[in-house]
């Protein structure tokens, strides 16, 4: 953080009304019923994020004059190995993904970060619609009495609700909660909308903001306000609700693997780690670069818990009044944090081509002014060829910066491919294509044809190679960091070494709590893909129906 400065002006003196707010009671496993996406063990190591919000000063771009490939202090970030947390915050600031919001724990998502979220939205929204989900919008302000209706749910969420008590200069008649999630609001409506089996299934989704008064925050990973989608479905039978919950976690898994190049483990949460109010929670768990687990998306089978609390009933074809069975599922801007920590390296961000706002950056290499027109002409032809093929391109023709500065600049931002064109390339009707995922010469291909069709074909192929390369890198890394354990001792060693531990598990809730208290590792999931049995519980020595994965997590 060579150039970073502390917040200036109002940001430095911004009021922090929450600093004096007493912390809610510590949430150990004792209150584990409330576990959900955003809940993390308080035991996790402290994060520097809110303690010392540093603001990267907008980059001051000095004139050229730097040697090609030379060090550019403005763009330097803390190496991953030195301080992972700082590395992450540096990328967030310097790649201009997000900034800290005026209220502690909130964030401003800057255009580059938001464009990544928009790409995520586009993929997922299409996937949801393809399985018959419709978008809607439910109000942000939920009467507190709604939230109180489902006992486990309210217990889970009450401590972190933001409550509105005044509006337009008057005290409100009823206290309103700023939505932390919308199961209660949705069910209040479903109880009115659903009457007959013909109204089912009802598959709704909304893209919105939600708020949870979190104490330990980190941009994208855990923020007081975050953007997400929340799907809510209602079905006539338990089987259909289960099927939907499974279908959605599989959609998340597929998205994570195919678009985000994140090799997630899909599985089932333990009872202790399930959503407050759910019968069963499914999850996708990703391994970050520091080998901590990140819960990247969840899908819940809610059974008829909310339906009973809200009286959401329908008249079935057999003439009986029945409660509906439901699912809910969500992913959030946390995925952006997951992308950074899955793929980023010491040069900055590495974005999977499918989600990259800019897939290809084109840089003219001009040493003599006389060469410029021809180089720019070639670049502009390549740009228009790529653009008309639907490739997201950016030309960086800024004459004030050296090519080397630009290389660093766009590598920091994780652009998957760089195209360089110099006078010699113009002569030979070629260009140079460099991959972000492979350093130096290895990732650089000279003499790529500048003929539009051939060029576009080459770019498309290479983008897919980068996409596959990132997935493969992350998969290799993950596999190397999962240890199969057969005893508690082995688990302790694996966790102490920062790895994930996988082993047979049939322990009790108390056993699970013990693991957490003693190692800080939590039961991430029972993976859907189970190794062949039989298994023995590493804790109790009893036969175990399944293996579970334990890890420290975000």
Q: HSE, CB side, 13 Å, CA atoms: give it for residue 250.
A: 9
Pick the binder of other proteins from 4, 8, 26, 384 (CB under 8 A).
Answer: 8
Closest C-alpha among 99, 105, 113, 102 to residue 55: 99
Asked if 103 interacts with other proteins (CB under 8 A), we say yes
Pick the binder of other proteins from 3, 81, 209, 388 (CB under 8 A).
Answer: 209
Stretch that binds other proteins, among 84-92, 133-141, 272-280, 438-446 (CB under 8 A): 133-141
CA dihedral 536, 541, 545, 551 (to 10 degrees): -80
Q: What letters, b where the CB count within 10 A reaches 16 and e where it falls short, cover 234-256?
A: bbbeeebbbebbbebbebbbebb
> How many residues appear in the chain?
554
Q: What are the tokens at 229?
A: 């989608």
Asked if 134 interacts with other proteins (CB under 8 A), we say yes
Stretch that binds other proteins, among 45-53, 195-203, 234-242, 416-424 (CB under 8 A): 195-203
Q: Which of residues 226-255 bind other proteins (CB under 8 A)?
A: 227
Asked if 189 interacts with other proteins (CB under 8 A), we say yes
Alpha carbon separation from 18 to 14, 24, 39, 107, 399 (Å, rounded): 12, 12, 19, 15, 47
What is the per-residue DSSP string for 36-69? -TT---TTSPP-HHHHS-EEPPPP----S-PPTT
DSSP state of 311: T
Asked if 132 interacts with other proteins (CB under 8 A), we say no
In whole angstroms, how close is the CB of 94 to other proteins at the nearest point? 13
Pick the binder of other proteins from 54, 86, 110, 250 (CB under 8 A).
Answer: 110
In whole angstroms, how close is the CB of 206 to other proteins at the nearest point? 8
Q: Which of residues 165-184 bind other proteins (CB under 8 A)?
A: 165-169, 172-176, 178
CB 427 within 8 A of CB 440: no
Distance, in Å, from the CA atom of 551 to the CA atom of 515, rounded to the nearest integer, reads 10
Asked if 138 interacts with other proteins (CB under 8 A), we say yes
Q: What are the tokens at 186?
A: 């949705």
Asked if 395 interacts with other proteins (CB under 8 A), we say no
CB 165 within 8 A of CB 171: yes
In whole angstroms, how close is the CB of 22 to other proteins at the nearest point? 6
Q: Which of residues 257-316 bind other proteins (CB under 8 A)?
A: 311, 315
Distance, in Å, from the CA atom of 458 to the CA atom of 118, rounded to the nearest integer, reads 26
Asked if 399 interacts with other proteins (CB under 8 A), we say no
CB 189 within 8 A of CB 195: no
Nearest to other proteins of 43, 103 (CB atom): 103
Asked if 369 interacts with other proteins (CB under 8 A), we say no
In whole angstroms, how close is the CB of 214 to other proteins at the nearest point? 10
In whole angstroms, how close is the CB of 369 to other proteins at the nearest point? 20
Omega before residue 201 within 30° of 0, cis: yes
Stretch that binds other proteins, among 206-214, 238-246, 301-309, 440-448 (CB under 8 A): 206-214
CB 101 within 8 A of CB 108: yes
Asked if 476 interacts with other proteins (CB under 8 A), we say no
CB 535 within 8 A of CB 504: yes
Asked if 65 interacts with other proteins (CB under 8 A), we say no
Nearest to other proteins of 137, 441 (CB atom): 137
In whole angstroms, how close is the CB of 10 to other proteins at the nearest point? 5
Nearest to other proteins of 189, 544 (CB atom): 189
What x/- string results for residues 18 through 57 when contact with other proteins is judged by CB under 8 A?
Answer: x-xxx-x------------------------------x-x
Stretch that binds other proteins, among 63-71, 101-109, 417-425, 537-545 (CB under 8 A): 101-109
């Amino acid at each position: 953080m060579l150039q970073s400065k502390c917040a200036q002006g109002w940001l430095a003196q911004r009021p922090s009304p929450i600093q004096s707010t007493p912390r809610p009671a510590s949430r150990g496993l004792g209150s584990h019923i409330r576990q959900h996406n955003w809940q993390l063990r308080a035991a996790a190591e402290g994060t520097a994020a809110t303690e010392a919000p540093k603001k990267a000063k907008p980059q001051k771009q000095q004139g050229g004059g730097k040697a090609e490939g030379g060090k550019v202090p403005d763009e330097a970030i803390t190496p991953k190995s030195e301080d992972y947390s700082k590395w992450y915050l540096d990328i967030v600031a310097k790649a201009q993904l997000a900034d800290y919001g005026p209220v502690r724990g909130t964030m401003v998502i800057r255009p580059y970060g938001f464009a990544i979220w928009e790409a995520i939205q586009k993929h997922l929204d299409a996937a949801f619609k393809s399985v018959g989900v419709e978008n809607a919008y439910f109000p942000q302000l939920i009467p507190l009495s709604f939230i109180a209706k489902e006992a486990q749910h309210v217990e889970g969420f009450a401590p972190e609700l933001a409550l509105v008590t005044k509006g337009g200069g008057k005290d409100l008649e009823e206290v309103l909660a700023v939505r932390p999630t919308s199961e209660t609001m949705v069910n209040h409506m479903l109880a009115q909308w659903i009457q007959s089996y013909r109204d089912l299934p009802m598959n709704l989704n909304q893209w919105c903001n939600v708020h949870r008064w979190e104490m330990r925050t980190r941009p994208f990973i855990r923020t007081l306000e975050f953007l997400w989608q929340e799907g809510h479905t209602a079905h006539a039978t338990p089987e259909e609700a289960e099927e939907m919950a499974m279908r959605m976690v599989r959609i998340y898994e597929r998205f994570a693997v195919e678009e985000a190049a994140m090799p997630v483990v899909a599985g089932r949460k333990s009872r202790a780690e399930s959503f407050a109010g759910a019968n069963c929670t499914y999850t996708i768990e990703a391994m970050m670069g520091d080998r901590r687990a990140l819960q990247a998306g969840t899908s819940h089978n809610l059974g008829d818990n909310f339906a009973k609390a809200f009286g959401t009933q329908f008249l079935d074809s057999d003439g009986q009044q029945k409660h509906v069975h439901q699912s809910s599922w969500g992913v959030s801007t946390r995925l952006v944090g997951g992308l950074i920590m899955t793929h980023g390296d010491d040069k900055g961000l590495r974005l999977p081509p499918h989600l990259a706002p800019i897939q290809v950056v084109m840089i003219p290499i001009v040493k003599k002014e006389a060469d410029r027109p021809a180089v720019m002409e070639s670049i502009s032809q390549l740009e228009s060829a790529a653009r008309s093929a639907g490739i997201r391109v950016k030309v960086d023709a800024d004459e004030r910066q050296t090519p080397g500065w630009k290389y660093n600049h766009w590598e920091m931002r994780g652009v998957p491919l760089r195209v360089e064109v110099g006078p010699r390339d113009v002569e030979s009707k070629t260009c140079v294509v460099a991959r972000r995922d492979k350093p130096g010469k290895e990732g650089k291909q000279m003499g790529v044809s500048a003929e539009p069709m051939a060029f576009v074909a080459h770019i498309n192929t290479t983008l897919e190679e980068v996409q596959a390369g990132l997935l493969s890198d992350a998969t290799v890394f993950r596999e190397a960091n999962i240890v199969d354990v057969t005893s508690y001792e082995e688990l302790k060693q694996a966790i102490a070494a920062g790895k994930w531990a996988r082993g047979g598990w049939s322990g009790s809730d108390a056993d699970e709590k013990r693991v957490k208290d003693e190692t800080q590792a939590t039961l991430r999931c029972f993976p859907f893909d189970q190794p062949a049995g039989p298994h023995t519980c590493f804790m109790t020595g009893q036969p175990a129906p399944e293996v579970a994965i334990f890890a420290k997590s975000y």
